[in-house]
Amino acid sequence: MPAVLIEDIHKRFGSLEVLKGVSLSVEAGQVVAIIGRSGSGKSTLLRCINGLESFHAGKIEVAGHLTTQDPKKLRELRKDVGIVFQSYNLFPHLTVGQNIMLSPRITKDVPQAEALALAKEVLAQVGLSEKFDSYPDNLSGGQQQRVAIARSLAMKPKVMLFDEVTSALDPELTGEVLLVMEKLAKGGMTMLLVTHEMNFARTVANTTVFMHQGKIWEQGPSKELFANPQTPELKAFVSAGAH
Q: What is the mean pLDDT of residues 88-102?
A: 95
Q: Say whether pLDDT at 241 is over 80.
A: no
Q: What is the mean pLDDT of residues 57-81?
A: 93
Cα–Cα distance for residue pair 183/78, rounded to 1 Å? 22
Look up residue 59 and give its DSSP letter: E
Are 10 and 58 spatial neighbours (Cβ–Cβ below 8 Å)?
yes
Are 177 and 154 spatial neighbours (Cβ–Cβ below 8 Å)?
no
**Residue 107's pLDDT band (cuts 50, 70, 90):** confident
Report the run of H or E that residue 232 belongs to, with start and end: helix 232-239
Question: CA 155, 150, 194 angle in degrees (round to 5)?
Answer: 95
Q: Which of 111, 87, 115, 89 is nearest to 101 (CA)?
A: 115
Q: What percent of the chain has pLDDT over 90?
A: 89
Sign of the C-alpha dihedral computed for residues 194, 160, 47 and 145 taken in this order: negative
Report the run of H or E that residue 194 belongs to, with start and end: strand 190-194
Q: What is the mean pLDDT of residues 174-178?
A: 92
DSSP bridge pairs for 192: 32, 161
At 107, the amino acid letter reads T
Q: Say whether pLDDT at 103 is over 70.
A: yes
Q: What is the mean pLDDT of residues 59-68?
A: 94
Identify the pLDDT of residue 243.
44
For 190, left (φ over 0), alpha (ψ -120 to 50), or beta?
beta
Q: Say whether pLDDT at 242 is over 70.
A: no
Identify the pLDDT of residue 171.
87
Within 57-166, where are the H helices? 71-80, 96-108, 112-125, 141-153
* pLDDT tens per residue, range 112-147: 999 999 999 999 999 999 999 999 999 999 999 999
* pLDDT tens per residue, range 191-220: 999 999 999 999 999 999 999 999 999 999
Identify the pLDDT of residue 102.
94
Identify the pLDDT of residue 24.
97
The CB density around residue 12, as the number of other CB atoms within 10 Å, is: 14
Going from the C-alpha of 219 to that of each of 175, 213, 231, the distances in angstroms are: 25, 15, 11
Residues belonging to the chain: 243
Domain positions in the chain:
4-239
The CATH code belonging to domain 4-239 is: 3.40.50.300
Q: What percent of the chain has pLDDT over 70?
A: 99
Are 24 and 4 spatial neighbours (Cβ–Cβ below 8 Å)?
yes
Cα–Cα distance for residue pair 52/90, rounded to 1 Å? 18
